[in-house]
Amino acid sequence: MKKETYVVTSALPYVNGVKHIGNITGSLLPADVFTRFLRLEGHDAIYICGTDEHGAPTEIAALKANRPVGEFCDENSELQRGIYEKWGFLFDHFGRIAPEQAGRHAGHALLLELLEGGRAWVKLSGGYIVSALQSVEDPALDALAASYLRCAPERVLWGSDWPHVSASAGMQPLPDDARQIDRLADWTAHAGGAATLRRVLVDNPRALYGFETAAPPLHCTQAGDKP
């Protein structure tokens, strides 16, 4: 049997509190079992997971607890890690990456390696949510976004995070989507310019989702126009 290399992951749990048994048996446990099976079969396999701390459920839970979101996430991330360890899950890496940790976090280095090898995609989305300043203008976002674009511009997508659920609920100021596009242009300007911007917005989504190439536009003529 040929020895293969696998990277296994599962849905990232929100850190809005202790997870119920369904979260574990429906997501984390199957991935753990599959990783163990691959290793028993002689393959190289790693299981990577982490916490999703930028969604509306987490921010609403922090608001109800009257706690800063970052502090609330720190506490609950460690709480969840402890629960999973008691269950015996064999995470090779259970991580979190904040924008200011770009270039210093082991998880960031691993993601760059996966991107460079063509084994992952990354979407630049909702920068205002992960920003400590709650703004897409945060300079800390620049190095993180640029690192992905320079490493593998053909594996990067973009999203506005519309309809901005957490911002609509008052968790952050409502972002200007036009300005979010401007910031994407800023990041791509340092990683290939207009060609990279087109890749992220047009070519990469087409490659990933199998969109057909758009037909050339039709040219309408009026009576009396020369062909």
Strand partners, 123: 157
CB-CB neighbours of 74 under 10 Å: 15
Q: What share of the chain is helix, strand, coil (3-state, %, to 5)?
A: 50, 10, 40
Report the pLDDT averaged over residues 64-79.
82
What's the rounded Cα separation, in Å, for the pair 170 and 138?
A: 19
Three-state secondary structure readout of 119-168: CCCEEEECHHHHCCCCCCCCCHHHHHHHHHHHHCHHHEEEECCCCCHHHH
Interhelix angle for 69-87 vs 56-64, to 10°? Answer: 110
pTM of the prediction?
0.65
Domain parsing of the chain, residue ranges: 1-96, 120-210
pLDDT digits 0-9 by tens, 58-70: 778 888 888 887 7
Q: Is 81:75 a contact under the CB 8 Å cutoff?
A: no
Strand partners, 122: 156
Residue range 1-96 forms a domain whose CATH class is alpha beta
pLDDT digits 0-9 by tens, 166-189: 788 777 889 999 999 999 999 999
Percent over 90 (pLDDT), the chain: 29
